[in-house]
Structure 1
Amino acid sequence: MSGAAPSSRPRPRAGHAGDDEAAKAEVTWLLDTLGYDTVDIGTLADSWRSEPNSPVYVQPYLPAVQPSAGQDPWELFTMPGTPTPAARIKELVDAAVRGPIGGVFPGSAQD
């Protein structure tokens, strides 16, 4: 039984990775209690697939609008997010390509 309050609205989803199935079950329980559905994205070795600049990091959850000219882009964060289907999250995780270890800062010499 879910600890989250019943709602007709789709619940947001959060990916999680780990090597310990009991720990993953606890994380699933906690996120369910907080109102999230979970998507198992694999082992800790696969967890890089959800790091910054990967296809599943933040972007799929943002509102489906673009800021207009002169609008503060941070205003997007005050709008409701977009529930993303579990199948789409898995597609994005699978589409991730590993970049340089430690990532790359935009505008750096490696960018």
Structure 2
Amino acid sequence: MSTRVGLAVHLYASDGRWIAWYRPGLPYLWSTRDRWIGWFPWAGEPTPEPRDDVLDPADVYLGTVVGDRLLARVVRRPRSIPVRVPEPQRPVGPPDVVRGQAVAPPIGFVDIDVSRLFGD
């Protein structure tokens, strides 16, 4: 992940649906409806462990950013959670984006359950 705050990065499901977005340099992940759905607790750690793993607001694993996709690992080792970020203010989200190209998830990944992205 970038350390510079910049334009929004859009994330897609494997079928190409836009499902989430974030701004590089900030720890928050948002749904397409600007609902806070996660955060990047390990983004700044210089470690061989995945830095692009995302926890939901209750600190439960949500998924992993793989290129421009947000996918869930089928198997994941537990990790200690660093200092938690404060709850963010609601952002002004990016404009809607066009559908991405469908691609099969990499081995060991599946799409995230939609209810975890949009349900309350």
TM-score bracket for this pair, using the shorter chain length: under 0.3
- Provide TM-score, normalisation by structure 1: 0.27
- Provide TM-score, normalisation by structure 2: 0.26
More strand by share: 2
